[in-house]
Amino acid sequence: MKRLLFVWHSRTGHTRQMLEAALRGARDPAITGIDCVVRDALEATPEDVWEADGIVLGTPENFGYMSGALKMFFERVYPPCLERTQGKPYGVFIRAGNDGRGALASIERIVTGLRWKQVLPPVIIAGDFDPARLVDCEELGQTFAAGLEAGVF
């Protein structure tokens, strides 16, 4: 089994809905070789990252940046992961009242340092929360899990 790690944070539930949709996709019954591990950004450890074959990050945009919780995750895992996780495939979903570009840029700056590789386009649900867009999160999870299982990523 390969491991797909979801590190996420949500205060008012929108990003949580995105996580649940991504998990629905990744847990497609047709995909049998992937174990999904879900960690709140405040609790995820360097070991979680070491043991993951792929990582999905989920955050709201707050103050033009990723959530403080996800930033704390990166501050915690960056030093112990720097030499051990280069090349890890990752994906990202973002919930934003405006456009989410600040959150995305803040994440991309850090993972560039870690040398993770983004394997799927980011999913950003911006403006009024439209539940119809959750299908994009589901597709992100499904495509990531299927690609990991097939050894594409």
Ligand X SMILES: Cc1cc2nc3c(=O)[nH]c(=O)nc-3n(C[C@H](O)[C@H](O)[C@H](O)COP(=O)(O)O)c2cc1C
Min dist CB 18 to ligand X, Å, is 8
Could you say which of 46, 50, 53, 64 contacts ligand X (CB under 6 A)? 64
Ramachandran region of residue 13, left (φ > 0), alpha (ψ -120 to 50) or beta?
left
The whole-angstrom separation of Cα 6 and Cα 58 is 8
Dihedrals phi, psi of 122, to nearest 5 degrees: -65, 145
Specify the residue, 77 or 94, whose C-beta has the smaller distance to ligand X: 94
Min dist CB 129 to ligand X, Å, is 6
Gyration radius of the chain over CA positions: 14
Name which of residues 1 to 20 contact ligand X (CB under 6 A): 10-15
Name which of residues 29 to 58 contact ligand X (CB under 6 A): none
As a whole number of Å, the end-to-end CA separation of the chain is: 15
Name which of residues 90 to 149 contact ligand X (CB under 6 A): 95-98, 100
Unique residue bearing structure tokens 């792929």: 54
Structure tokens at 143: 């495509």
Decide if residue 61 touches ligand X (CB under 6 A): yes
Min dist CB 125 to ligand X, Å, is 8
Q: What is the binding site for ligand X (CB under 6 A)?
A: 10-15, 60-64, 95-98, 100
